[in-house]
Each structure stands twice: as C-alpha cells, then as structure tokens.
A and B are shown apart, each in its own frame.
Chain A
Amino acid sequence: MPESLLFYVLSGLAVGASALVIGQRNPMYSVLLLIVSFAALAGLYITLDAPFVAMAQMIIYAGAIMVLFLFVVMLLNAPQEDGADWDRTHPLKRPGFARIGVVLAVLLVAELGWALAKVVSLGSPVGGRADGATIASVREMGRVLFTQYSFAFEATSVLILVAMVGAVVLARREGDV
C-alpha cells in the first residue's frame, strides 16, 4: 500500500509541522516550519490528482507569500514575543468576556466531531475514481476557469489591485509622498 503510506506520511508531516508553527516562540522558525507544512500539503494535492494546484501551492504559497512573511519578520527584527509585561493568566481564569473564546473553541471541536462522525458513517467515496484517469487535467481547469468562473476571475484581479494599493498606502511613512 504505497499510496496510503504516502498519505499518512504527508498528512502527519503537515499536521506536525503546523502544530510546531504555533508552538514556536521565534516567528522565523514558525515561517520556515509553515513552508514544510505547505510542501506536505502540496504532496497531498498530488495524491488527490491535482498536480496544478500542488504546483500553485508551492509557487504561490511556499514561494511568494512565505517570502513576504520572512521579509517582514526580518524587517521588524522582533524575534521574541514580549510577554513579560502583559497579562499571562490562562484564558479560563480570566474574568468576564475573555471566556467566550474558550466557549467558541469548544463549540468548534464539537462541530468538527459531529461533522466528521457523519462523514465517516458515509464510508466510501462519492464519485468513482477507480480508472485512475486524471479528471482534472489542466486543459479542463483552464476551460472552466475562463468560461464558468470568468466573472470571479476578473473580480480577483480587481481584488489584487486593491490589495496592492492598500498595502502600499498602509506601509508608507507619514512624510513620504
């Protein structure tokens, strides 16, 4: 069973690296571990017959977005969390509304467990795969993306323009033109 072994190795890597991301005190290590997690997720996409999404994951996420994060971490040069002079009490022991987050987290776990219990009882996959043919060829993806989803595609380009202008305006110093 090389396929299922690959799945378990990759998903273990993804979950373990993600858990380590939120366990690090130094954001530099967090960013580097998140790249490992994204690479494992790209492998999972390949096991799902989605090679184009896997490559986009590596190039856009691990390449572009994580480099942006690394750049900001190095630019700010604030390696440690400054937790000393702030409230370090456990969220459960804080008074008042701070506990609502805990309630929401418990609700999230309950919802996930409920939804997964339904899915596990569903058992076998919905659509047939069996023949091993790649349903999601790049040609088919391009066709659907530029016909059925063409409006969303164009709206996405406007979104990127807005984000670019917003980032430039926000990160600018006051005195600059």
Chain B
Amino acid sequence: MIPLSHYLVVSALLFAIGSAGVFLRKNLITILLSVEIMLNAVNLSFVAFGRFNGTVDGQIITFFVMTVAAAEAAVGLALVIALFRGRESLNPDAFTSLKW
C-alpha cells in the first residue's frame, strides 16, 4: 500500500505547477487552467487525508471545492469574454486601466 506522504508529494507538485502557471503565463485562459490545477491538487490532498483518517469528510469537502471551481470557471470565463471584447487581447498586461 502507498503511504500518505506519496499522495501529498503529488499534491504539492501539482500545486507548485499550478502556481508557476499563474505567475509565468501571459494568457488569461491558461492562468484560469492553472488555477484549476491548484484546486485539483488541494482536492487530492483532501481525499488522501480523509482516506487515511478513515472519515468521509475529505470527499465531501472535495465536492464543495468542485462546485466552487465550476462557479469560478463560469464567472472567470465570462470576464475573459468581456475583456477580450474590449481589448482584442488575452494578455493580462494589456489591461492597465486601473494601473497607477
């Protein structure tokens, strides 16, 4: 059987990849995808902790995280569409109206 730490290492790797994507990429859609990767990394550690504690709560929290991810994707993509309509660009550096 696989120890808990292995799952947590995979989760940490996925979270690091996701945060690197948020910081490095210059495309709003790829940034949203990186956020999804991070949410999935957290889901994996929730399920792993729940499994190794013998409770069902980890899986339930995973459902709430999935719901929030769905809501975030819907609103985020609507924002991306609205932004693209205004500037014809997906580069976050193009949106500088609020920049001081």
> Could you tell me which A residues sit within 8 Å of B by CB distance?
3-4, 7, 11, 14-15, 18-19, 21-22, 24, 27, 30-31, 34, 37-38, 41, 44-45, 47-50, 52-53, 56-57, 60-61, 64-65, 68-69, 72-73, 75-76, 78, 81-83, 86-87, 91, 101, 105, 108-109, 112, 115-116, 119-120, 122-129, 135-136, 140-141, 144-145, 149, 152, 156, 159-160, 162-164, 166-168, 170-171, 173
Interface footprint category on B: 35 or more
Distance (Å) between the CB of A138 and the closest chain B CB? 10
| A52 → chain B closest CB, angstroms | 7
Query: Is the pair B40, A41 in contact by a Cβ cutoff of 8 Å?
Result: yes
18 residue pairs A–B, Cβ–Cβ below 8 Å: A11-B10, A18-B37, A21-B34, A21-B37, A27-B33, A34-B36, A41-B44, A45-B44, A50-B59, A61-B69, A69-B73, A86-B26, A126-B52, A129-B52, A136-B56, A163-B70, A166-B75, A170-B82
Question: Which of B59, B60, B79 has the most chain A CB atoms closer than 10 A to its own CB?
Answer: B59
Main secondary structure of the interface of A (DSSP, over half): helix
**In the docked arrangement, what's the CA distance between A122 and B48, Å?**
15
Residues of B in contact with A (beta carbons under 8 Å apart): 1-10, 12-21, 23-27, 29-30, 32-34, 36-37, 40, 43-44, 47-48, 50-57, 59-60, 62-64, 66-75, 77-82, 84-85, 89-91, 93-94
Q: A76, B84: Cβ atoms under 8 Å? A: yes
A27 and B29: CB pair below 8 A? yes
In the bound assembly, the distance between CA atoms of A149 and B64 in angstroms comes to 10
Interface Cβ pair total, 8 Å cutoff: 223
In the complex the two chains form, is B14's CB within 8 Å of A48's CB?
no
Q: Which residue of B lies closest to A143 (CB)?
A: B56
* Chain B residues positioned under 8 Å from A81 (CB to CB): 25-27, 90-91
